[in-house]
Structure 1
Amino acid sequence: MYRTGLLLAAAAFAVAPASASAEIIESENGGFASRHSVVVAASRADVWRELVHPENWWTHTWSNDAHNLHLDARAGGCFCEALPPTDGWAAGSVEHMRVVMVMPGSLLRMSGSLGPLQAEGLTGTLTVTLAEESEGTRITWDYITGGQARFPVEEFGPIVDGVQAEFLGGLVARLGDETVSAASES
């Protein structure tokens, strides 16, 4: 039943007209939600293969080197980054997110705070959904953040939305495919 509801929701979103606009779709209760969607001329298998290798396309790392990233794409797995030794100190590490759901070829969901949000009482959930379309694969990228922070969270939403768009753009660029259509709500 849950899968049917998820598929119906994905189908309903898939028929929405493409748009190049962006806006905050939710900014109440100390949080915000961001959504980006793009159709690429690549198979779901090709998109999935790249999605689970963020070291090839992710931006905004603590070490300034995406090759230090690793994603263990299974429930409980870590989306982590190795930090090289600095100033005589041993190597470090950072957990960007924890994998909470994997449906290979269809859905990857992770929970955690990204970047500077990590220093606050915030948590985020990133859900990446893949769906077949006649032109290729629709990638829907949802990031929802909520909690307590020392700054107005809703004002930070557009900045985080822009970074989420960069992440999706990096994946699309890595696929080497032209975008067939794109939509964004944040």
Structure 2
Amino acid sequence: MLKSMIAAAAGLSLFAAGPAAAEVVARHADGFTLRFAVPMETSAGDVILALDNIGGWWDGAHTYSGDAANLSLLLDPGACFCEALADGSAFEHGRVVVLDDDHLALDAPLGPLKGRASKADLTFSWPDAGAGTMVTMTFIVEGPGLGAFADPVNGVMAVQFERFIRYVEYGEG
């Protein structure tokens, strides 16, 4: 209990520099949209470096191997967001669709969405990197009955976003 309270306090202090928005933007029976955003002073290079080292900030509790160090994300269109498993195989969490100067888009039906989602667009954006940049993560999911997953997926993705922002700012997950 104390550990959970300390972790929650640490997450809140993460956004002390500016207000963060984290919400289910839209939901319906067959889908939902999540949006997480925080203004920060950063460079495009810092954001890209954090994305390139996804194993450094992703929560290992939300991997199949239990260790985020087994994750890889090559920043090239068509590249795999993959996880190395103990048996030597790899699990594909998603694919890079677009990487340009101010955003990364993945087709990423994560966790229980795999095999159920007809659309699972995970996008990170950082337009006009510098002072006051709004770093954003958006997750648009569609598929039969998936609207019921909005709240639990929002909870998991909020933690991932907090860890991502902390990594961009401090280089640690």
Q: TM-score range by the shorter chain?
A: 0.7 to 0.9
Moved over 4 A (4+): 18-23
Q: How far 1:72 sits from its partner (Å)? A: 1.3
Match of 2:116 in 1: 120
Distance 1:53 1:109, change over 3 A: same
Judged with a 3 Å threshold, the aligned counterparts in structure 2 of structure 1 residues 49 and 94 are, in CA distance, closer, same or farther, namely same
State, as a whole percentage, how many aligned pairs show the same letter.
33
Q: Secondary structure at the match of 1:109?
A: strand
Match of 1:71 in 2: 73
Judge conservation of contact 1:44–1:137 (CA < 8 Å) in 2: no
Choose between structure 1 and 2 for higher RCO, CA contacts under 8 A separated by at least 6 residues.
1
Which residue of the partner structure matches residue 140 of structure 2? 144
Q: With the length of structure 2 as denominator, give the TM-score of the two structures.
A: 0.78
How far apart are the structure 2 equivalents of 1:131 and 1:176? 16
Runs of 5+ unmatched residues, structure 1: 1-17, 86-90, 178-186
How many pairs were matched up? 151
How far does residue 161 in structure 1 lie from its aligned partner after superposition?
1.2
Tell me, in whole angstroms, the C-alpha distance in 2 between the residues paired with 1:64 and 1:113: 18
Q: Would the alpha carbon gap of residues 163 and 78 (structure 1) be closer, same or farther in structure 2, given more than 3 Å must change?
A: same
**Are residue 93 (structure 1) and residue 90 (structure 2) matched?**
yes
Letter in 2 for 1:160: V
Deviations 1:23-49 (A, max 9, x none): 432223611000010122322211221
> How large is the RMSD of aligned CA atoms in angstroms?
2.1
Contact 1:76–1:98 (8 Å) recurs in 2: yes
**Counterpart code for 2:166:** A
Deviation of 1:174 after TM superposition, in Å, equals 1.4
Report the residue type matching 1:96 in the other structure. Answer: H
The aligned residue for residue 15 of structure 2 is none
Counterpart for residue 163 of structure 2: 170
Structure 1 residues 17-36: aligned runs within 5 Å: 22-28=22-28, 30-36=30-36
Aligned to 2:37: 37
Mapped partners of 2:70, 2:27: distance in 1: 33
How far apart are the structure 1 equivalents of 2:32 and 2:43? 31
Between the aligned partners of 1:171 and 1:66, the Cα distance in structure 2 is 13
Higher helix fraction: Structure 1 or Structure 2? Answer: 2
Q: Which amino acid aligns with 1:65?
A: D
Instruction: Quote the Cα distance in structure 2 between the aligned partners of 1:120 and 1:138.
Output: 31
1:120 Cα deviation after fit: 2.4
Q: Structure 1 length as normaliser, TM-score?
A: 0.73
Looking at structure 2, the residues matched to 76 and 134 of structure 1 have their Cα atoms a distance apart, in angstroms, of 28
1:141 Cα deviation (Å)?
0.6
Q: Distance in 2 between matches of 1:30 and 1:67?
A: 33
Larger-Rg structure: 1
User: Residue 100 and residue 20 in structure 1: after superposition, are their counterparts in 2 closer, same or farther (change >3 A)?
Assistant: closer
Structure 1 residue 51: deviation in Å?
1.6
